[in-house]
Structure 1
Amino acid sequence: MRGSKPRLDNVIPMKGDMTAPVPDPMSEMSAEGRAVWERVVPHVVQKGHWDDSFADMFAVYCEAAADFLKFTGEIAAFGAWYEVQTRNGMQQKKRAVWGLRQDAVTTMNQLAARFGLTPVDAARLKSGGQLDLFDDLMRQLDGTD
């Protein structure tokens, strides 16, 4: 006798088989920002660092990354500085796009840390955050380690 047919509702998927849906980029984002979103968000979701309440802040990160790429291209095309004649002779001045790129880098660095997009921050989020300073010592003293 063969037994009853299997029920699919009682099968627990393996962790590797579980895939969370990747959210679509916001319609208000620029085309470049949406391209960054589509490239980076799947990795954030896969690592388990995504929550729908993060969408606005991640959109800011994506726009900053898009700005960084745009400003870097402009610097490559036109240079990072220009020369002006002053009463003291020729002086080199940074172009405005150089400062805009630095602002984009600062924004990216701040937000990348929150989403675990750098190696150090990914390890920090994986470990569960800051640990107790004396936790190892107390376990050894208690004999539980």
Structure 2
Amino acid sequence: MAGNANSGRPAKPAALHLLQGNRSKKNIDQLMAEVKDPGFPVEAPDMPDGLSADAAAEWQRVVPDLLALGLVSKLDMMALASYCEAVADWRRFRRLIAEKNAEAEGAGDIQTFATGAKQISVWRQLANDAEKRANAAGAQFGFSPMARRNLKAAPPPQGELFPNEQRDAASRFFT
């Protein structure tokens, strides 16, 4: 089967095209029109009450930039909260890994058993999982610029394919 909506590389958002110098030579007027009217309300969502301190700090860090680029909407509260909590977890686990490595070289990255077998430590596994969650939450529901570009608003109603002018004229006078 030929290509479908999921084929190929995801399209870049207009703001990113302009920031990178428009190497693809897309129409500047169309890109500027898309930047001015992104098709969704650009507004910061309310920060949830239950965020950890690190997650709240991440929220405060990213929301102004997302607003400036026009890439966040009130609808993105949950995706943004998930992203911020995942980043907070990642930072916490990275601190724990650094502490364990300071105690004994590599103890935060590698776990050694009594038998001498080694495996990746639970802290490293948790940090890797938090990183994956942060990346997934960043793309979920159009949070990432690439995913935002692929969200399409519902098209306007098409109207009649074959208008009947005589019927319309008659309905104005005889109804």
Interval of TM-score (by shorter of Structure 1 and Structure 2): 0.5 to 0.7
Matched, 1:97 2:123: yes
Query: Hey, what's the Cα distance between the residues in 1 that align with 2:74 and 2:45?
Result: 8
Structure 2 partner of 1:111: 137
Query: Hey, what's the Cα distance between the residues in 1 that align with 2:143 and 2:75?
Result: 12
Q: Which amino acid aligns with 2:123?
A: V
Superposition CA RMSD, Å: 2.3
CA offsets 1:82-130 (integer angstroms, 9 cap, x no match)? 21122xxx1113221111111111111112233226xxx3xx75xx449
1:28 partner SS: coil
Question: 8 Å contact 1:61–1:112 — kept in the other structure?
Answer: yes
1:85 partner SS: coil
Matched, 1:32 2:61: no
Ranges of 4+ aligned residues in structure 1 off by more than 4 Å: 20-24
2:48 partner SS: coil
Deviation at 1:40, TM superposition (A): 0.6
Query: Hey, what's the Cα distance between the residues in 2 that align with 1:110 and 1:33?
Result: 16
Map 1:1-145; keep pairs closer than 5 Å: 22-78=44-100, 79-86=108-115, 90-113=116-139, 114-116=142-144, 121=146, 125=148, 128-129=149-150
TM-score normalised to the size of structure 1? 0.61
Q: Which amino acid aligns with 2:144?
A: G
Question: 8 Å contact 2:43–2:72 — kept in the other structure?
Answer: no
TM-score normalised to the size of structure 2? 0.51
Unaligned runs of 5+ in 2: 1-35, 37-41, 101-107, 152-175
Question: 8 Å contact 1:44–1:115 — kept in the other structure?
Answer: no
Query: Hey, what's the Cα distance between the residues in 2 that align with 1:23 and 1:129?
Result: 21
Unaligned runs of 5+ in 1: 1-14, 131-145
2:87 partner SS: helix
Q: Which amino acid aligns with 1:81?
A: I
Q: Note closer, same or farther for the CA distance 1:23–1:54 as it changes in structure 2 (3 Å cut).
A: closer
Query: Hey, what's the Cα distance between the residues in 2 that align with 1:53 and 1:129?
Result: 16
Alignment: residue pair count: 102
